[in-house]
Amino acid sequence: MQILGVIPARYASSRLPAKALKDIAGKTMIRRVYEQASKAKTFAKVLVATDHQEIFDEVKSFGGEVMMTAAHHNNGTERCKEVVETLTDKFDYVVNIQGDEPFIQPEQLETVCNLLDGNTQLATLVAKVKKSEQLFINSIMKVVFDKNYNALYFSRECIPHLRDVPKEEWIEKGTFYKHVAIYAYRTDILNEIAGLPLSPLEKSESLEQLRWLENGYQIKLGITDLESMSVDTPDDLEKARKFAIDNNLTI
């Protein structure tokens, strides 16, 4: 399988503008994501897809591959589609790597890639929830799936609901999984889903993957034990900087 890794990196962000260019212990965030993704052994190519010249120039400065893409895209899926349409090389799958996870582990990316056998339409990762408070944070997406590890539903609410069990006991009495936001698309499926209209469930929860499920596409799940760290706010950025220093991840 020929697999392309794409890191969408737009400049605008309501909570942390230009976050791709923020310094984390001596390296920009986009550089850290790129370097981590490039360690995965399953990619034929890794590149950054951006809509801004400063991000483009930064990736060039450290020797990374980068492509300028349109500014009008609503999400990373649409940006990945433009990349596939622009490249002359042909790929079987595209993996959308979040540009705001500076410490993403290559093993996580390889776990997703190992699900891509030609039959898999879409794939992503889940991790077991270990802390009770995470069950009730609506920025952490929860997932339920069938016996074949195909997603049934994603929600900002805690799923499944444990009837007649106090919420403070849920983490002990149930098993819960959270979504790790890495998406893999078969290239023909990517072309199809990028053109789908906003769906009712997606509109309700503001989760793009619900659009795919509502339209009958199958999302295969892989399970990881590795944690990730998303940087969405100034507070997240400070936590990332501290993590880098504490773990000797400075230059």
pLDDT in tens, 96-110: 999 999 999 999 999
- Residue 139, C-beta contacts closer than 8 angstroms, at least 6 positions apart: 156, 232
d(CA 157, CA 152): 14
Tell me if the pTM is above 0.85.
Answer: yes
Q: What is the mean pLDDT of the segment spanning 5-34?
A: 91
Instruction: Look at the alpha carbons of 23, 26, 30, 32 in this order and tell me if their dihedral is positive or negative.
Output: negative
Instruction: Look at the alpha carbons of 208, 9, 33, 43 in this order and tell me if their dihedral is positive or negative.
Output: positive
Would you say residue 67 lies in a domain? Answer: yes
Q: What is the mean pLDDT of the segment spanning 123-128?
A: 96
Would you say residue 130 lies in a domain? Answer: yes
Q: Which residue, chain included where needed, has tokens 């190992």?
A: 114
d(CA 210, CA 78): 16
Select from 25, 70, 105, 109 the least CA-distant residue to 194.
Answer: 70
Would you say residue 248 lies in a domain? Answer: no
Residue 16, domain extent: 3-237
Confidence of residue 251 (pLDDT cuts 50, 70, 90): low
Would you say residue 243 lies in a domain? Answer: no
Q: Residues 197-231: pLDDT tens digits?
A: 999 999 999 999 999 999 999 999 999 998 778 89
pLDDT at residue 247, as a whole number: 87
* Number of domains comprising the chain: 1
Would you say residue 22 lies in a domain? Answer: yes
Would you say residue 244 lies in a domain? Answer: no
Q: Residues 151-183: pLDDT tens digits?
A: 999 999 999 999 999 999 999 999 999 999 899
Residue 162 belongs to domain with CATH number: 3.90.550.10
Alpha carbon distance, N-terminus to C-terminus of the chain = 34
Would you say residue 63 lies in a domain? Answer: yes
Choice between 211 and 17, residue whose per-residue pLDDT is larger: 211
Select from 234, 12, 14, 219 the least CA-distant residue to 122.
Answer: 219
